[in-house]
Amino acid sequence: MYDDIDILKNIELNCEPPAEEPARQYYFIGKCVEYVNELRGRIGRKPSFFIQTFGCQMNFHDSEKIIAILEQIGFVEADSEKADFVLYNTCTVRENANERVYGRLGQLKRIKKNNPEMIIGICGCMMQEEHVIEKIRRSYRFVDIVFGTHNIFKFAELLYARLKSGEQIIDIWKESDLIVEELPVDRKYDFKCGVNIMYGCNNFCSYCIVPYVRGRERSRKPDDIIREIKRLVDDGVIEIMLLGQNVNSYGKNLDKALTFAGLLKEIEKIDGLKRIRFMTSHPKDLSDELIEVMAASKKICRHIHLPLQSGSSRILKSMNRRYTKEQYLELVYKIKKAMPDISITTDLIVGFPGETDEDVDETIDVVKKVGYDSAFTFQYSKRTGTPAAKMENQVPQETVTRNFDRLLKTVQEVAAERTARFEGETMPVLVEDVDSHEEGMLTGRLGNNTVVHFEGGRDLIGSIVDVKLDECRGFYYIGSMV
């Protein structure tokens, strides 16, 4: 990140905007500041913003970028939609996520009636779908700013365009090679932060919309990533989460090839950084080199999120996952041999077209054999535009519900047993927050990502302390500091 204050001071606002990025965006941030100062005089307070984020870590990190820009412009964060600027950062991976957004937009319309100066924005993955944009143009005229996943960096420019024109601004890019570095990022926590290492996805799993809404795979340059992490660490961050839809294929499109394992080795060298996490690993690309680097590392957390989706090789083929049940299990055995204490978590889908009870039995078999620490279990959702949406033999809902319930039951049993394996041990916990349910309690995470609640003062937030894991309650621990 630039030293933002200096940058803003040095930007000449009385001329044409610069053509190059990120200087252009700092120019528009400056322009928006002028507007906000004027608005502040008029309403007698700082204007407020509220952002609701749906979906995955990528979206949450994108929201952190937008929040940083809004704060520089002079907005303050509000805790509800009764704000001067409201933005929904959307996810479209499953149908119910879309429905929720439309429902909430309806409510916003009513709030806006009482505050005509209110600005409503909507962005994220849903906006990359043409039918969504058509619907917004047609039925949601009160939405002021609409943008997609490729042009988040342009947020200040779009906001300024809306402020100046009063018109609905819709700016969606179909695809982009552009990676704009050095824009501000706000951090929800002082001590941990997400870092994008790549964007997009090339895998085209047959059920998945992500490659269509996030575009082709693009890796950030290692130097840019390292520089960002060093700055974060200088600023007090001790844990980073490297983000990408398939981190194991990092580096394939770089001029000077570097593997994900190679990148991790470089990041490990950064002094002051204590914990390194990453998400997500596609099983087909997880290399022996990565297992070696992880096993030798003092900083990489002992946790791999390794989405299985299905345990049936026949369904996996139809999903275009490019591994079989046997290959997946072999990979897990290799990982566990190198790191016996590792936690493995996963994503599972029930009800993919053509799935039978026997296929679900195979999934249940893998769940038992792997012993996941936790698993996200989803019902298949038909996404228009994906190959699976056109497949015949979509599974009837009652079959999906029945199989979902029995898979979930197994997942919960296996995860509870597996999570409890450290009961009685003392392990380092990164303290994240006060426990919202119980006064005097803190909440933090083990290296393997399991949540621990224990007694302590809020001054410990952001530090790593040793905690005895007294009692496992399903998917979390109650502990005591030693």
- Interface contacts to ligand F3S, rule CB under 6 A: 55-56, 58-59, 91-93, 125, 210, 213-214
CA angle, 60 as apex, 374 and 178 as ends, to 5°?
120
By beta-carbon proximity to ligand F3S, the closer residue of 56 and 226 is: 56
268 binds, among ligand SAH, ligand SF4, ligand F3S, none (CB under 5 to 8 A by kind): none
By beta-carbon proximity to ligand SF4, the closer residue of 149 and 450 is: 149
By beta-carbon proximity to ligand SAH, the closer residue of 259 and 363 is: 363
By beta-carbon proximity to ligand F3S, the closer residue of 214 and 303 is: 214
Provide, rounded to whole angstroms, the least separation between the CB of residue 94 and ligand SF4: 12
Nearest-angstrom CA–CA distance, 267 and 474: 34
Provide, rounded to whole angstroms, the least separation between the CB of residue 235 and ligand SAH: 29
Q: Are strands 198-199 and 192-196 parallel, antiparallel or unpaired?
A: unpaired
Provide, rounded to whole angstroms, the least separation between the CB of residue 74 and ligand F3S: 28
By beta-carbon proximity to ligand SF4, the closer residue of 18 and 211 is: 211
Residue corresponding to tokens 């309690």: 441
Nearest-angstrom CA–CA distance, 235 and 191: 9
Side-chain half-sphere exposure of 100, counting CA atoms within 13 A: 15
Q: Are strands 476-481 and 451-455 parallel, antiparallel or unpaired?
A: parallel
25 binds, among ligand SAH, ligand SF4, ligand F3S, none (CB under 5 to 8 A by kind): none
Residues written for the chain: 482
The two three-digit tokens of residue 174, written as one number: 């179909």
By beta-carbon proximity to ligand SF4, the closer residue of 203 and 448 is: 203
**Binder to ligand SAH among 11, 105, 349, 395 (CB under 6 A)?**
349
Query: What number of helices (H) and strands (E) belong to the chain?
Result: 14, 19
204 binds, among ligand SAH, ligand F3S, ligand SF4, none (CB under 5 to 8 A by kind): ligand SF4
Which parts of 69-108 interact with ligand SAH (CB under 6 A)? 93-94
Residue 383 within binding range of ligand SAH, rule CB under 6 A: yes
Residue corresponding to tokens 């047609």: 138
Q: Which sign does the torsion angle of CA 9, 15, 20, 26 carry?
A: positive
Eight-class DSSP state of 273: -
378 binds, among ligand F3S, ligand SF4, ligand SAH, none (CB under 5 to 8 A by kind): ligand SAH
Return the SS3 of 482. Answer: coil
Residue 277 within binding range of ligand SAH, rule CB under 6 A: no
- Residue 359 is which amino acid? D
By beta-carbon proximity to ligand SF4, the closer residue of 63 and 245 is: 245
By beta-carbon proximity to ligand F3S, the closer residue of 56 and 111 is: 56
The answer, yes or no, to whether the previous bond of 307 is cis (omega within 30 of 0) is no
Residues making contact with ligand SF4 (CB under 6 A): 201, 203-205, 208, 210-211, 245-246, 282
Which parts of 137-156 interact with ligand SAH (CB under 6 A)? none
Q: Which residues pair with 93 in a beta bridge?
A: none
Residue 394 within binding range of ligand SAH, rule CB under 6 A: no
Residue whose C-alpha is closest to residue 194's, from 220, 157, 162, 155:
220
Nearest-angstrom CA–CA distance, 328 and 70: 44
Task: State the burial class of residue 175 (Cβ atoms within 10 Å of its Cβ: 0-12, 13-18, 19+).
Answer: exposed
Residue 282 within binding range of ligand SAH, rule CB under 6 A: yes
Beta strands in 167-322, from DSSP E residues, in sequence order: 169-171, 192-196, 198-199, 218-219, 239-243, 275-279, 303-305
By beta-carbon proximity to ligand SF4, the closer residue of 22 and 200 is: 200
By beta-carbon proximity to ligand SF4, the closer residue of 248 and 403 is: 248
Residue 280 within binding range of ligand SAH, rule CB under 6 A: yes
211 binds, among ligand SAH, ligand F3S, ligand SF4, none (CB under 5 to 8 A by kind): ligand SF4
Which parts of 181-240 interact with ligand SAH (CB under 6 A)? 207-208, 210
94 binds, among ligand SF4, ligand SAH, ligand F3S, none (CB under 5 to 8 A by kind): ligand SAH
213 binds, among ligand SF4, ligand F3S, ligand SAH, none (CB under 5 to 8 A by kind): ligand F3S
Is the Cβ–Cβ distance between 349 and 380 less than 8 Å?
Answer: yes
Provide, rounded to whole angstroms, the least separation between the CB of residue 133 and ligand F3S: 15
Is the Cβ–Cβ distance between 67 and 87 less than 8 Å?
Answer: no
Residue whose C-alpha is closest to residue 149's, from 102, 86, 205, 196:
196
The two three-digit tokens of residue 89, written as one number: 């950062």
Provide, rounded to whole angstroms, the least separation between the CB of residue 277 and ligand SAH: 15
- Could you tell me the maximum CA-CA distance found in the chain, to the nearest angstrom? 69
Interface residue list for ligand SAH (CB under 6 A): 93-94, 207-208, 210, 245-246, 280, 282, 307, 309, 347, 349, 378, 380-381, 383
